[in-house]
């Protein structure tokens, strides 16, 4: 709902949020929506300005493209803006311009305006005074930062990470200490996950750091990968560093500063230098909702190589050993949903094919896969495999599914298929006392 902004601090009392007008560079503000040229798709897309920064005398705009994932948010120069079309939102007057000159990373006036309008529409309790440092500290230490309404967490704060031999661009905000946001590159020790803004300090650390694998027990090893199990309570710093790193690629999820109630399962590749992290999933020591995964991540440099499916497969193997059905914590991200759907489909189709046409029930599919009956039903419905026949549900493999499967098999013949050998998992469900699950003051 557009709300009328009556904040005295905002110099445009007669402009309503949501109103259309023609903007000029001088009147652009945080919150304004306009068409911005998107390089990859080579088209103009409607975008919202989230932050404005003056670099070498020229304003730059951090924009979010409407209806696209936040991963695509980016800084653009004025040349990418289309000012010929109508804009939507709070367009200022040219006199306001002066106050912007101090190259504030986030326009505090706009934040105040947002706070005021959020309060009026009763959406969230945005703080009245805004301090970036204070905000970041709160995000670092106060647990949940899910879908934070705060301005600061909407803007990606790190430019580049070096992890082992890879350089990676973060996708989202992560509450690293504020001084790191000024660095062109943040150096992450790929083994202990400590972070450094200065290359010299990082190199000095590397000569001293003796860790060569995640600090836990190796519970799986095959010719390609190893899995390590890590207790958040025993390896607090390491796990917090992992959460900080993974927040760079997870937008919608809670970052738990309190890592004690979680176990972390880290997948690595091995070479003569050590075990390099590919990805991980975290899991609550005890989940009231029956979740078998809290957060799951394949580092970007390893994505789309089948590792996500391997991580998911591992999480279900653990559930099988616990004698439980499990499901990932909701909400899933866009990529999380794609990854899980692909895994669920593969698993169910394989089970049906291995069953050689014999009749199976939803409950049997669930108990064989450790998937919840709800996930089995949704998968079958999505694939149009659940038919109602003579008053009963019948599961049937459709021609479309079979030909899709055929194509996948062909592709895997060429590319190879990553699989998990459950026999190689050396793991028993750990037992925790209440004191072991959380902070132990």
Residues that bind ligand ACO (CB under 6 A): 249-250, 253, 293, 295-298, 303-309, 328-329, 332-333, 335-336, 338-339, 342
Which listed option, ligand ACO, Zn ion, none, makes contact with residue 28 (CB within 5 to 8 Å by class)? none
Report the residue number, 293 or 365, with the smaller CB distance to ligand ACO. Answer: 293
Closest of 419, 392, 221, 209 to residue 309, by C-alpha: 419
Contact 405, 199 (CB under 8 A): no
Question: Of the residues 329, 359, 364, 423, which is catalytic?
Answer: 329
Report the residue number, 416 or 429, with the smaller CB distance to ligand ACO. Answer: 416
Can residue 266 be called a binding residue for Zn ion (CB under 5 A)? no
* Residue with nearest beta carbon to ligand ACO: 308
Which listed option, Zn ion, ligand ACO, none, makes contact with residue 76 (CB within 5 to 8 Å by class)? none
Hey, is 310 helix, strand or coil? helix
CB of 200 to Zn ion, least distance (A): 15
CB of 270 to Zn ion, least distance (A): 18
Can residue 76 be called a binding residue for Zn ion (CB under 5 A)? no
Sheet containing strand 186-188, strands side by side: 166-168, 161-163, 186-188, 195-196
Which listed option, ligand ACO, Zn ion, none, makes contact with residue 339 (CB within 5 to 8 Å by class)? ligand ACO
Can residue 275 be called a binding residue for Zn ion (CB under 5 A)? no
Hey, is 359 helix, strand or coil? coil
Which listed option, Zn ion, ligand ACO, none, makes contact with residue 120 (CB within 5 to 8 Å by class)? none
Tokens at residue 75, please?
A: 């800084």
The per-residue b/e assignment along 64-95, b for 16 or more CB within 10 angstroms, e otherwise, is: bbeeeeebebbbbeeebbeeeeebbbbbbeee
CB of 334 to ligand ACO, least distance (A): 7
CB of 189 to Zn ion, least distance (A): 3
- What is the C-alpha separation between 73 and 64, in angstroms, rounded? 5
Hey, is 24 helix, strand or coil? coil
Task: Find residue 271's DSSP bridge partners.
Answer: 274
Which listed option, ligand ACO, Zn ion, none, makes contact with residue 209 (CB within 5 to 8 Å by class)? Zn ion
Hey, is 136 helix, strand or coil? helix
Report the residue number, 241 or 292, with the smaller CB distance to Zn ion. Answer: 241
- What φ, ψ does residue 401 adopt, rounded to 5°? -65, -45
Largest CA distance in the chain: 76
Q: What does DSSP assign to residue 194?
A: -
Report the residue number, 193 or 366, with the smaller CB distance to Zn ion. Answer: 193
Looking at 189, 244, 267, 335, which residue binds Zn ion (CB under 5 A)?
Answer: 189
Task: Find residue 48's DSSP bridge partners.
Answer: 33, 64
Contact 85, 35 (CB under 8 A): yes
Hey, is 157 helix, strand or coil? coil
Can residue 164 be called a binding residue for Zn ion (CB under 5 A)? no
Can residue 215 be called a binding residue for Zn ion (CB under 5 A)? no
CB of 196 to Zn ion, least distance (A): 9
Which listed option, Zn ion, ligand ACO, none, makes contact with residue 298 (CB within 5 to 8 Å by class)? ligand ACO
Active-site residue, 329 included: yes
CB of 370 to ligand ACO, least distance (A): 16
Tokens at residue 236, please?
A: 């607090």
Q: Tell me the catalytic residues.
A: 329
Q: Which residues bind Zn ion (CB under 5 A)?
A: 189, 192, 209
């Amino acid at each position: 709902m557009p709300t009328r902004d009556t904040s005295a601090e905002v110099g445009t009392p007669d402009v309503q949020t949501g109103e259309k007008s023609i903007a000029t560079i001088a009147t652009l503000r945080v919150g304004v929506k306009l068409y911005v040229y998107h390089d990859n798709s080579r088209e103009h897309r409607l975008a919202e300005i989230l932050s404005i920064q003056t670099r070498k005398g020229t304003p730059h705009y951090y924009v979010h493209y409407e209806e696209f994932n936040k991963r695509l948010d980016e800084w653009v120069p004025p040349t990418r803006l289309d000012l010929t079309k109508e804009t939507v939102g709070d367009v200022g007057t040219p006199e306001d311009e002066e106050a912007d000159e101090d190259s504030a990373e986030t326009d505090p006036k706009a934040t105040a305006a947002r706070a005021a309008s959020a309060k009026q529409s009763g959406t969230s309790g945005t703080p009245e005074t805004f301090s970036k440092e204070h905000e970041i500290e709160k995000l670092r230490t106060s647990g949940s930062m899910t879908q934070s309404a705060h301005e600061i967490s909407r803007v990606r704060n790190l430019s580049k990470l070096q992890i082992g031999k890879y350089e990676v661009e973060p996708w989202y905000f992560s509450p690293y200490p504020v001084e790191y946001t000024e660095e062109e590159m943040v150096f992450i020790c790929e083994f202990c996950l400590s972070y450094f803004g200065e290359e010299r300090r990082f190199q000095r650390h590397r000569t001293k750091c003796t860790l060569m694998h995640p600090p836990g027990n190796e519970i799986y090893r095959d010719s390609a990968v190893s899995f390590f199990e890590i207790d958040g309570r025993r390896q607090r710093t390491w796990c917090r560093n992992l959460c900080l790193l993974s927040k760079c690629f997870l937008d919608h999820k809670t970052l738990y500063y309190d890592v004690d109630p979680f176990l972390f399962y880290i997948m690595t590749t091995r070479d003569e230098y050590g075990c390099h992290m590919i990805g991980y999933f975290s899991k609550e020591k005890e989940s009231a909702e029956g979740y078998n995964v809290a957060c799951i991540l394949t580092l970007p440099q390893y994505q789309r190589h089948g590792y996500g499916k391997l991580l998911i497969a591992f999480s279900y193997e653990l559930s099988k050993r616990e004698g439980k059905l499990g499901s990932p914590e909701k909400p899933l991200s866009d990529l999380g949903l794609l990854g899980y759907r692909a895994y669920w489909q593969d698993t169910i189709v394989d089970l049906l094919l291995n069953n050689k046409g014999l009749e199976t029930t939803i409950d049997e599919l669930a108990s064989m896969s450790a998937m919840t009956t709800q996930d089995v039903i949704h998968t079958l419905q999505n694939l149009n495999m659940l038919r109602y026949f003579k008053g009963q549900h019948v599961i049937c493999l459709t021609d479309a599914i079979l030909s899709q499967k055929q194509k996948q098999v062909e592709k895997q013949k060429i590319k190879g298929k990553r699989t998990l050998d459950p026999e190689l998992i050396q793991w028993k469900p750990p037992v925790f006392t209440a004191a072991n699950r959380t902070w132990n003051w």
